[in-house]
Structure 1
């Protein structure tokens, strides 16, 4: 029973006792009187019976007021102090207990605060020592994370259960491309810490590769690896190289035990398609040329006869001309279609055009002391270039312009032109001849003390591009135009997106090496060992059974006790109904923001995949789950995983508190509220609150998922239905 319930019971008991004592006293006094005394008093008391009852009620009320004050001092106040102590021990060591309910309780609070100050001092000393010991390990982890994030190849590290414990940014983009869900999931339903790699690869394929590696280890090979090519469920062709992660052998353990594996992935779908088309073309050229060559051979043999009739000779010559023309046409078509495959090309990197221009500006201004400006730089233009040699060429031309034509300012212009990109180097001043331009193109490049054996023409040929001089007579300007190959825009990960955490995403957790999916039953597992999806929804209203719809879903994940803000799900939803103005005032979502967004029929399956194999967590989860449950039958999905509600857990932890609203819980637990009333913002705040609840729940004896569910069911709020 909660302290407030005990207080109410005490007040009711005091009222009943006061009323009962008055009634018993009056009854005993009446029966102690003689009949004559009764007859004498009865005419006096009967008219005043109402006054006597009122006096009795006033007495009972006075007893209730006294008991309420007594309960607040000696029942409710200790419970509130106990809550403060739990929060101080479990979530905020800097918190201090305040109580002015009674002098005795105030002295206890002072003593507790003194002990807390001593504890904080000792903890600070311990934390300093731990930080010193852990600094080198953290530096190694940061170096590894930095290196992994910069690799151009997709890398995924898994434990033997196939649970992902490390991946890099390239892998995240790779898996996003494999996802068939809307932009909401963005591959998050496939890749993430603690997720299973078997969502992408067949388990038997991984097992076979591991067995192959184990055999190589037994043979003593220094670098045991396995390679395979597979088709994903999304129809993509992946080439994978697998390497083992070997455990450090303990005392009495064998060397070379595999504890996990590293997958290096390449999407070869386009390469395979291009090679297939090239093979088909080569086969067509071979078969098509075979008949042409046979005709040419027959015509040549006939033309060797000296006495051949002129008309017949002309006919065979026409055969030769036609066949040669046909072969020439086929070869030219093949060369045009597959020029990239049929030519030997210098390795080129894909980069954003604006970055290339910025690098050229820095080079010219730093080495030539020549000011530069920008003109019409189109955003989202990507080029495929050898940036080092191309910048050398741009710098060399800028140097010649400055030295020979006294150009004092250069401008850059960048634009898309179909499959090519135009990069213009612009200047004002004296015109130059075409012969001068050609001589500059063919001379080895030398500027600012740097020499290169390459010429501008060599660099342009490497890019299979062109460069020429062009004049703008009306503006008295000229420019060199570089024609460069364009590249498809690459999606970049948000480096510091709103509500998505610190400077580096949480892409690794090596503690997952120790975790096994096939351990205990879910209800018997500790809360600290589970994986959670914390989510929230924004809706058109509060009545799902009356037609209100979801307009936004936001979610994030908790893995191994860490809130992974970088692994988030956020998607607006077209409700396909009117959005009331009253709801817009709460969450700030307008009807214009929902135009063009996917319907719930596409978003909810993506969220279902994102939350697979996790425990759902929400604040006032009954409300959000009702919206999901209503759609389960029509969409053919079911959210059958366990659900925890921070509202119910707060009521179980702190039954004496008046409010269990999310803001009130955040204030009690020292959680900073940001992004409130957005789905992802509320999900992240709820996740922070839930993480701070876990140690408090453990102190209260609520350690497993089953404990948490049973404690939640006993609260009053568990009976609320939507």
Structure 2
């Protein structure tokens, strides 16, 4: 209830009380008078009655003025002083109270502001000490982040109930759902998130079974090892999953408090193995007829030594034709197998100038041979750089062992059409052609199956070709290597490189046990999805539509800026100019965007298991509820409204708009009237309000609901 309204109600009650006392006195006195006294009073009443009535009105006015002054200079300032003092101690130490009210209250305000200054200094000193004490811990966390971000496998750490405590970017990319990528290929609004259930993205049964096996081994005192199994996602991706337990407690009473999952994408490997099996089967089927023809012709020749010349010639022709066909098929099989190995090989994009610098440094430091070379800038080569450097360095070493210290020449040229030529030459030395041929055929590395590969094998694996240039029949002066190249690789690499090391963790969730009895959970420990919408207008029931939705997850008091949704929506109707002036979204940007039927199910899954939070939530929830049936979803999440929470805490403040609350809590608003910008500000407001709620005895979700029901703003509807 607003302070002014309280004042008028109180004043009306005082006036009624005064008139009631006067009337009661008059009536009581009248009945105690005798008949003579009543007649006397009746005679003089007309003469003296105006004066008491006038006095009563004067008295009422004086009391009203005193009550008004009491409220203006004491009661309302005291209530505001109490709210703002609590704001300083619980949420915004930088806030200072504006002196108002009576002189005594102004003095008290100055004392409180001085105490706030001392409190802020003390708080700063304590925070500095805490920051220094946590420096080592933060360093360890950064090391963990660096380690996890560089791992080639996806990693998930979960508590016993399957809530995700940690994940790295590889896991996020592996488990993102279809349709959750932006035009640059970045994952947006994926299903992986801190506090979410891993069973929302991975099949529950294999994980539970593996946990039961690990628990059984622990109960029997056996040594625990990891458990591995295969799993297929909805996207068709095949994963190899390794599970390792996380143990808690003392050695004599340990229990499994969680588990670590490492995820390896086997889709490519399985497809490659399938191609290999098909290749072997096709080779077997295709070779069999040719071998049959050769075998029959040889049997005929050996079985009848007296064959006439014509029959002998026909059988020889048959053997020749079948052997040539067999040779062709084997060549095709070898080429197909080379492509198969190429698919399995580890290739990378390397800048030509960087590769040349590495070769120059490696050969110069190891063998003392100068390397002259040139390479075009910005040309990306697709190859196994390690194998290439080792092979070329090996050639330099052979030259050095033959006593040659002549300069080495390496030239890389862009031939266009996705090809480049690397020319390796030794113009001042004369090497035997067979010597170079032995070099390109000598074992260099081993493949995944342990097979020895020569330099020529490695080149062929990467779709290249090696040519030995000879000046004479037995003399060689250079080797040319045809390699794949790509001028566009830089843009792809830049687009796929994370802007920061995206590792996300929240180990306090080890202590949470699912979402049971959500209403009794402390507000600090809940998982929230704070969201906001921008719309074509303010009347959802009359056809206004959502044109943008923004959301961010909050887990254990942390705003996860890496887990957000920021999506424009095609409303399939005009956007009024008045609305454009507010949110600034050009209607042209909405054409071709996903529709609400596509976006709302994604948001529903993003918010699964969380408490929804919005400012003036009734407005946003009304838009969502009107679309539930059409989109096939139902939002049964608990909902908190920061407007209602603010009105509970700051009941005597003049307004509770998002701007006013942010200003009161010393929060900077960025991106106002954009869905994600408002959602982020609302999330910060929520975290600032929680300690203020706790100071009023509001600790759980149920407590917050009961308090919000009593707010005068709780009656708003749309």
Superimposed CA distance per residue, residues 305-324 of structure 1 (whole angstroms, 9 cap, x where no aligned partner): 33223443344334334433
User: Matches of 2:552 and 2:323 in 1, distance apart?
Assistant: 66
Q: Secondary structure at the match of 2:134?
A: helix
Match of 1:162 in 2: 162
**1:243 corresponds to 2:251:** no
| Per-residue deviation, 1:158 | 1.2
2:175·2:192 contact (CA, 8 Å) conserved in 1?
A: yes
1:52-67 equivalences in 2 (<5 Å): 67=67
1:182·1:603 contact (CA, 8 Å) conserved in 2?
A: no
Match of 1:400 in 2: none
CA 1:22/1:213 → structure 2, altered by over 3 Å: closer, same or farther?
closer
CA 1:145/1:386 → structure 2, altered by over 3 Å: closer, same or farther?
same
| Per-residue deviation, 1:19 | 8.8
Among 487, 509, 523, the alignment partner of 1:512 is: 509
| Per-residue deviation, 1:386 | 2.0
**1:712 corresponds to 2:700:** no
1:160-309 equivalences in 2 (<5 Å): 160-176=160-176, 178-179=177-178, 181=180, 183=182, 186=187, 188-215=189-216, 224-249=225-250, 253-255=252-254, 257-304=255-302, 305-309=304-308
| Per-residue deviation, 1:301 | 0.8
User: Matches of 1:506 and 1:32 in 2, distance apart?
Assistant: 97
1:87-486 equivalences in 2 (<5 Å): 87-176=87-176, 178-179=177-178, 181=180, 183=182, 186=187, 188-215=189-216, 224-249=225-250, 253-255=252-254, 257-304=255-302, 305-342=304-341, 348-351=346-349, 377=378, 383-386=382-385, 389=388, 417=417, 420=418, 422=420, 460=459, 463-466=462-465, 483-484=483-484
User: Matches of 1:545 and 1:308 in 2, distance apart?
Assistant: 98
1:414·1:424 contact (CA, 8 Å) conserved in 2?
A: no
Superimposed CA distance per residue, residues 607-657 of structure 1 (whole angstroms, 9 cap, x where no aligned partner): 111111111011111111111111111121111111111111111111111
1:674-693 equivalences in 2 (<5 Å): 674-693=670-689
1:239·1:268 contact (CA, 8 Å) conserved in 2?
A: yes
Match of 2:574 in 1: 578
| Per-residue deviation, 1:249 | 1.3
| Per-residue deviation, 1:481 | 8.7
User: Matches of 1:692 and 1:134 in 2, distance apart?
Assistant: 23
| Per-residue deviation, 1:120 | 3.8
Q: Please identify, of 213-222 and 259-268, the stretch whose mean Cα deviation from structure 2 is larger.
A: 213-222
| Per-residue deviation, 1:113 | 3.3
Match of 2:449 in 1: none
CA 1:593/1:682 → structure 2, altered by over 3 Å: closer, same or farther?
same
CA 1:458/1:167 → structure 2, altered by over 3 Å: closer, same or farther?
same
User: Matches of 1:423 and 1:4 in 2, distance apart?
Assistant: 85
User: Matches of 2:677 and 2:414 in 1, distance apart?
Assistant: 39
Superimposed CA distance per residue, residues 100-159 of structure 1 (whole angstroms, 9 cap, x where no aligned partner): 311211222233334434444444444344333332222212211111111121111111
User: Matches of 2:109 and 2:206 in 1, distance apart?
Assistant: 63
User: Matches of 2:411 and 2:632 in 1, distance apart?
Assistant: 59
| Per-residue deviation, 1:701 | 1.5
Q: Please identify, of 156-165 and 5-14, the stretch whose mean Cα deviation from structure 2 is larger.
A: 5-14
1:172·1:191 contact (CA, 8 Å) conserved in 2?
A: yes
CA 1:183/1:709 → structure 2, altered by over 3 Å: closer, same or farther?
farther
| Per-residue deviation, 1:183 | 4.2
User: Matches of 2:603 and 2:390 in 1, distance apart?
Assistant: 46
CA 1:718/1:124 → structure 2, altered by over 3 Å: closer, same or farther?
same
| Per-residue deviation, 1:490 | 6.2
Match of 1:694 in 2: 690
| Per-residue deviation, 1:231 | 1.1
2:533·2:675 contact (CA, 8 Å) conserved in 1?
A: yes
Match of 1:560 in 2: 556
1:423·1:482 contact (CA, 8 Å) conserved in 2?
A: yes
Q: Secondary structure at the match of 2:307?
A: coil
1:440·1:456 contact (CA, 8 Å) conserved in 2?
A: no
| Per-residue deviation, 1:3 | 3.7
| Per-residue deviation, 1:289 | 2.0
**1:542 corresponds to 2:543:** no
1:216·1:224 contact (CA, 8 Å) conserved in 2?
A: no
2:529·2:611 contact (CA, 8 Å) conserved in 1?
A: yes
User: Matches of 1:129 and 1:711 in 2, distance apart?
Assistant: 37
Match of 2:584 in 1: 588
1:365·1:372 contact (CA, 8 Å) conserved in 2?
A: no
Superimposed CA distance per residue, residues 226-269 of structure 1 (whole angstroms, 9 cap, x where no aligned partner): 1111112332211111222222417xx424x3222111111111
2:86·2:692 contact (CA, 8 Å) conserved in 1?
A: yes
| Per-residue deviation, 1:504 | 5.5
Where does the alignment leave 5 or more consecutive residues of structure 2 unmatched? 30-38, 365-369, 397-404, 441-452, 469-479
1:9-48 equivalences in 2 (<5 Å): 9-13=9-13, 35=43, 38=46
CA 1:123/1:371 → structure 2, altered by over 3 Å: closer, same or farther?
farther
Where does the alignment leave 5 or more consecutive residues of structure 1 unmatched? 46-51, 398-402, 426-431, 446-453, 470-479, 497-502
User: Matches of 1:309 and 1:203 in 2, distance apart?
Assistant: 76
User: Matches of 2:213 and 2:189 in 1, distance apart?
Assistant: 30
Report the RMSD for the aligned CA atoms in angstroms. Answer: 4.9
| Per-residue deviation, 1:713 | 2.0
User: Matches of 1:510 and 1:602 in 2, distance apart?
Assistant: 33
Superimposed CA distance per residue, residues 635-693 of structure 1 (whole angstroms, 9 cap, x where no aligned partner): 21111111111111111111111111111111111111112111111111111110111
Among 596, 603, 613, the alignment partner of 2:599 is: 603
User: Matches of 1:591 and 1:440 in 2, distance apart?
Assistant: 71
User: Matches of 1:592 and 1:442 in 2, distance apart?
Assistant: 64
The normalised TM-score by structure 1 is 0.79
1:608-619 equivalences in 2 (<5 Å): 608-619=604-615
1:518-537 equivalences in 2 (<5 Å): 519=516, 521-537=517-533
